[in-house]
Structure 1
Amino acid sequence: MRALLCLCGLVLATLMLLTESASARERVPLNRDGWRHGAIHNGKQNMPVILPGVARDWAGGCAGKKAADCRKLAEAFTNGSGDIRTDLRIAVGYWLAGCRAGDGAACGEAAAIIRNGSAGYVDFDLAFRTAQSGCESARDAEACALMGLGLYRGQGTARDPARALAMWQAGCASGGMEACRLQASALREAGDLAGALVLARKACDGGAAWGCGQLASAYRLGDGVTADEAAAARFAERGCGSASTSDADACAHHGYYLARTGDAANLERGSRLLTRSCLAGSATGCFEAGELGRRNPAGSKIARWEVALSYRDGCDKSHAPSCRELGALYLQGNGQVGRWPDRAIALIDHACALGDEPACGRARALGPAADAARRRVHPVHPAYPASEQIAAALALVKAGRGQDGLEVIARLMEEGHADASWVLAGWLAYGEPGVIDTPNRAQAIALAENAAAQGHTAAARWVGMAYWEGDGVPVNREKAKRIMQVAMKSGDPLDEALYRSMVGTIERDRQKAEYDRRLAASYRPRSFWGEVMAGLAASVSSYQPSYSSRPSSSGGGWANYVAGASQRDFDSFVRYATGATTVCRSSYC
């Protein structure tokens, strides 16, 4: 018996040691375990970091070229973990460090971030070199696909489409879904729709949602195949919630079909999928959200003010029907945007230039009226992406053409654009020589509230503190707390601390002096608003009009919100919207 007890004790001790070891490996970085300062070069500059708890050990391992530790830090700063907040400017530095340590997948992650600018800068040379390293040294599929993209577009290297296509074909044949996607895009661009759809079907059958989304589009529109609404609906549903990840276009088509079933619950789910797929980058989602809001069936969750904004967001993505229908709103006026024939014709002509025959027909039907409208010279062309229009408007104000700048910002504000509402709110709150000489605090608060309601975190912080402190409005601390919940999505630790202070989870009296000092220096005065304007106008000094028949694609309205949305975040919303879960923990909710 004693031998048995002894054996049991040894087994128990061993299990406890294994459990403790596993626990140590699974620890999350917490400040309560201590912390230290550090720094990481992110490809552009050194980024200071605070390394809490176990992150200190990871940083030491990463410095010693342990790729696994670099990955832990990269993932922590990509997704947030423990007391580490999401910050892609830092995450990309650790992805690059992992790449240098031989992690090919880290090369692919870093190259993608550097290409798309989500770390605050774009460097095609560095992106290509990084992808090339991951491809040639580790044969990582994602890195090879992105290396091919650089070759195909001549970004960061000499243009070599033939080599790019060969790389994608080989990668796709080996099961690399990103290579399949890029090869399909190239085939579609070359007019080989049948070849593109073969790859899309392979991807969809393999669980890649983008393939299902492309098939849904093809069967719904009869693009390369015979139109088949039933098949389109099936592929849309597969790509929205049933695949390994959800595709924004698939969800846009799924939302379109749900909204037309005649069922109230499906209408609500469909309308939410349309607006959220638009936020996730689907031009189809933007257009269909506008169309649904325009029809306004009972039970739709799309408000009338969202109609113009939805079309604007779609037009910003070079979606011709969205530009055409935004122009149609300006032809008629809808209670939100006024009747402006010159703006209407500019947008309809742009849709025609993008290849939309209905827009061309509408322009021809307007005859001499269209010719007269075309003689109007716009301060900034209404078909520019909204982000470019705002940058151009701020440049006009800086150059002394305040009223021209105001016209552009006011037009975008009427279309429901959150950044434009925020700019105008600042001008109204503080005045702007040559633009608004007499401040109007009440109107400023109203516009900032509108922007905050759309998820604009800077506006939410400003107006939330105004209600908390009674700065220009009656004190309303319950409202302040609700609005500050929006501000917390910025990821700024101070926003979180302010909110915790408001709800009493820490001692406000003890913290009040420090918070008030920081608020006085950063948020309430004009300087805070000015810093945000500087961010919006980052391209003003080098701004050159880029309008052509195809203006550059840009993020749509709510750009700040969209930039922080990840695939995981979108998938979380889709699971909620399609009934897979009853709790929504996504920023899209």
Structure 2
Amino acid sequence: MAGLINFADENEVKQFLDNLGVEYSFQCYSEKDPEGCQRLADYMEGVKKNYESAAQVLKHNCETNGHGESCYKLGAYHITGKGGVTECLKTAYSCFIRSCNAGGKKSVDACHNVGLLAHDGRAMEGGPDPTAARQYYEKACAGGFAPSCFNLSALFIEGNSKGLAPDMTLALKYANRACELGHVWGCANASRMYRLGDGTEKDEKKAEELKNRAKGRRKKKTAHFGELLSSVRQSLLSCATSYGESLPGRRCS
């Protein structure tokens, strides 16, 4: 039947993929369609494995069109130096801010990454910026991104010397939200706070309920991701991404 691709025919598949590349390139550069540029970048990365070309398209689509997903992916490239771009957390930070503010696909991930980099301080001129970290974690948390809610909880548990006072009521609020969104350590932290009466009245029943929820989710996560951290104390001090990961990379000048 005309129009159908015989995927058993290597030459026919190659021709089909080559035609896709031509079509996406036309969409991007002739029709000036930002979504076409994103498709072209994905094609270069996923089909052609040409990361240098993918990086060039992402840069064009982010800087010229302000495309949120392209800015996010370009930021991710700058974290590790993928595609021949400069490995630079400061540049990645700028890309993630553009993606976060643009909205759309990957925006909450980008907001979370801005929060991480501000919290960590390696991308910042003056070191960690808890105010910026809070602002962008709040945006990601409001978008349903559980690790940002958890990190907000950790921020308010710890406080810092740069003007962010500990606030156990807010810490509990965000731990509960992280738990609602499925974050194991959000449930564990909220349970501990109800048991101790941190930021709330003591509530053993609620503490036990959240503890059991954390245990159930931990078993489920362990089956997929391996053993999680065993110490609630460690979780209280963790200000990284979910499951204890943090962004690699270096600040650069």
> TM-score of the superposition, structure 1-length normalised?
0.25
Q: Which has the higher contact order (CA 8 A, sep 6+)?
A: 2
- The structure with more radius of gyration: 1
- TM-score between the two structures when normalised by the length of structure 2: 0.50
